[in-house]
Amino acid sequence: MKTILTIILLLTFGNSYSFDIYVQIKINSTSDIAQLEPFISAFDDVKKIREGKYSYNTENGNITVICTPEQLSRLQVAGFRILSIQHYTAPVPEPSDLVLPYQFGWPRQVSTGWPLYKSSPTSADMNGDGKLEVSVTAGFSTNQPELYLWKYTGAFVPGFPYAIPFGTLQTSGAMEISAIGDLDGDGQLEVVHADENGNIFAHKFDGSMMTGFPYNTGGLNEHSAPALKDLDGDGKDEIIITSRDRDTDMDAKLHILKFNGSNVVNYPNFPIGYTKGSESSPVIADIDNDGRYEIIVGTGYDNASSYEGRILCYNDMGEVKSGWPVIAGPYAVGGTPSLYDITGDGKLDVIIRVKIESHPNQINGIYAFDYNANLISPFPFEVPAGHPFANVSIADMNGDGQPEFGFGTVEAVSLGKIVVFDRQGNLINGFPQPVYATWVDGATAMGDMDGDSLPDIIGGTNQGKMYGFTGSGILANGFPLDPEATTLNAFETSPTITDIDGDGDNELIAGCNDRKVYIWDTPGVYDSIKIWSTFKGNYKRDGIGGSSLIPLVINAQGNTLPDGLWLSQNFPNPFNPVTNINFEIPQSLTGRKVTIKIFNSAGMEIAVPLNNPINAGSYTFTWDASGFPSGVYFYSLTVGEFSTVKRMVLVK
């Protein structure tokens, strides 16, 4: 017997129609969506990944489709229950009165095959020359899948594009966002990405595949975007990634993989299995400063096995973190976590968009949990729906010393918005802002676009627009941005903000469905602290943004020299007027220029106690704040591309 779906139509017009209409449909599973597909023109808030596989907000229990009057009649005849309708009107966004220039050498074409769906660009200085490279994976329909790597000028890095073995990255359905890190400890970075056929790849700067790769996690597994982190202090990044059956999302596993010099091996006590996966990607940090790293990731929901959706948290020994998991109930947790010290206790908190059944109002929105999984007040902040795998972007957009939380919604009938909340859960002035599209696609990013040194929020849409809003909710100069194509032009990847050419201003990088990677040169001031650069915060994709960075916890084990970069919490804190700050520089960074800066609560630089090359070792400096008023201050330690930041309070 055909499943009878309740269709809630949004506005009644009568019995005859001469226009396309929106239909909102109550669904129970993806099989219901597959039943509908022959009867409609298009999905509005559903992405079809491949036959029988869809990406949508499962927790809402409904979807919206676009159909013609004739198709509406067919839906009625087929047994679908029709309640009301809404006229489809194409949205008309406001034009920009200023055109931002392209970065010299850009945009670049990636392929003539599959569009850049989910294949968000990744940018890092891979060879240490002070300029950043840009990487993206390109799947295929009839063409060869390839990994691209360009110099900041748009020229190919020799050895790229790399032709990935045929048969991988099929239909571009996997989360093909790459991460960049040093897997073998040679001082040059590698590009790591995965496909939906069980394979994980790692490529050297010359384009060659690393020894031991591709590594197969088994069968036709789909993977998350990887995170990279040096867990054991040997100077080599491990790969943290999830896998799941690409058709059912079942038989999910959390992997930590290590390159041992000749092969890829499982980290002790990993992989860890769980019933059902989701589009959530893992993040990793020592969230409680106990000397062990924690991995946080969301899971799927499986009604047949009564497996509830949840937020998992394991340490790097494979042990469940005390207080975790957080149970969402009959809702998949597809959102990717972000990490930020919200409470100012020097420990990272977990911020994620999710719906939780046990919350009194079952709010679908942005939740924040401390390291023991306690809900932080006044979270959650209600968000009606968002991109299934997106993370929350976090930065101080208005210079008040407190973080703002940004997210893009997915709302049918072209009602998608960019929302920004303050620490108290209030929408900041000027928000939400409409984007005249159903999808704010991917995760938002935050960084200065207009030269005022304050972060703006950036998000792309399925209608082919890249929006940028200031902390006042005003369109940033030059926005919205348009691709060159007028069709097949959706920005279905997460944008990246960084300074690729070292000139001190921000570039905005985005992949588009017209198969091009765009880079715009903005007047925005680059600041490694006041930024949420990209999906999962940075090019290692570990979930930490510029302003949320905290020190790496070091276990020296009797060594004379430190094993990693470290910045202490100042002591005493609060202080009046003198405080002490310890920091450590590892051997791998000896001789590099070390910069320590102090900022007031508005983000203004007020002191630079150190800005010179120094050797590896442990150091202490004392800051005398006699000439400064009471208030919140921040201090940062920067060595090359590595940067950490802390908060301190002066009380007079």
- In tens, the pLDDT along 391-437 reads 999 999 998 888 999 999 999 888 899 999 999 999 999 999 999 99
Q: How confident is the model at residue 571 (pLDDT cuts 50, 70, 90)?
A: confident
CA distances from 256 to 188, 199, 224, 552, 558 (A): 21, 14, 13, 19, 27
Which percentage of the chain shows pLDDT scores above 70? 88
The number of CA neighbours under 13 Å toward the Cβ of 82 is: 23
Q: How confident is the model at residue 204 (pLDDT cuts 50, 70, 90)?
A: very high
Give yes or no: residues 134 and 263 share one domain. Answer: yes
Residue 551 reports pLDDT greater than 50? no
Cα 176 → chain centroid: 13
Give yes or no: residues 69 and 158 share one domain. Answer: no
Task: Supply the mean pLDDT for the chain.
Answer: 85
The domain in which residue 170 lies consists of 119-274
129: left (phi over 0), alpha (psi -120 to 50) or beta: alpha
pLDDT of residue 85: 72
Give yes or no: residues 132 and 242 share one domain. Answer: yes
Rg over CA atoms, the chain = 24
Residue 359 reports pLDDT greater than 80? yes
Residue 541 included in any domain? no
The C-alpha atoms of residue 224 and residue 297 are separated, in whole angstroms, by 10
Residue 169 reports pLDDT greater than 50? no
Residue 540 included in any domain? no
Place of tokens 């309708």: 85
Sheet order of strands, 199-203 included: 179-181, 190-194, 199-203, 215-216
Please give the DSSP secondary-structure letter assigned to residue 164: P
Residue 492 included in any domain? yes
Pairing mode of beta strands 6-8, 81-82 = parallel
Alpha-carbon torsion angle 123, 203, 150, 182, nearest 10: 40
358 phi, psi to nearest 5 deg? -75, -15
Q: How confident is the model at residue 94 (pLDDT cuts 50, 70, 90)?
A: low
Place of tokens 């002070």: 130
Instruction: Identify the H or E element spanning 508.
Output: strand 505-511
Give yes or no: residues 411 and 463 share one domain. Answer: yes
pLDDT of residue 317: 96
Give yes or no: residues 126 and 267 share one domain. Answer: yes
Burial class of 503 by CB neighbour count within 10 A (0 to 12, 13 to 18, 19+): exposed
Residue 546 included in any domain? no
The C-alpha atoms of residue 240 and residue 549 are separated, in whole angstroms, by 19
Q: Is the dihedral of CA 58, 61, 64, 65 positive or negative?
A: positive
Report the domain count for the chain: 5
Q: How confident is the model at residue 354 (pLDDT cuts 50, 70, 90)?
A: very high
Between 82 and 59, the higher pLDDT residue: 59
Lowest mean pLDDT segment, chosen from 111-115, 202-206, 246-250, 306-310: 111-115
Residue 440 reports pLDDT greater than 60? yes
Give yes or no: residues 614 and 518 share one domain. Answer: no
Give yes or no: residues 140 and 237 share one domain. Answer: yes
Lowest mean pLDDT segment, chosen from 163-172, 292-301, 384-393: 163-172
The C-alpha atoms of residue 592 and residue 613 are separated, in whole angstroms, by 5
Evaluate whether 495 touches 534 at the Cβ level (below 8 Å): yes
Question: Which CATH number characterizes residue 217's domain?
Answer: 2.40.128
pLDDT of residue 338: 97
Residue 563 reports pLDDT greater than 70? no
Residue at which a domain ends, from 246, 274, 302 = 274
Give yes or no: residues 246 and 176 share one domain. Answer: yes
pLDDT of residue 93: 63
pLDDT of residue 560: 46
Residue 555 included in any domain? no
Give yes or no: residues 503 and 405 share one domain. Answer: yes
pLDDT of residue 214: 93
Give yes or no: residues 171 and 196 share one domain. Answer: yes
Residue 171 reports pLDDT greater than 50? no
The C-alpha atoms of residue 132 and residue 123 are separated, in whole angstroms, by 6
| Residue among 389, 426, 510 nearest 100 (CA) | 510
Residue 112 included in any domain? no
Q: Is the peptide bond before 107 cis (omega within 30 degrees of 0)?
A: yes
Residue 367 included in any domain? yes
Give yes or no: residues 174 and 81 share one domain. Answer: no
Residue at which a domain ends, from 227, 251, 274 = 274
Residue 624 included in any domain? yes
pLDDT of residue 108: 96
> How is residue 405 written in tokens?
């939380």
For the residues 326-347, what does the mean pLDDT come to?
A: 91
Residue 550 reports pLDDT greater than 80? no
Give yes or no: residues 582 and 603 share one domain. Answer: yes
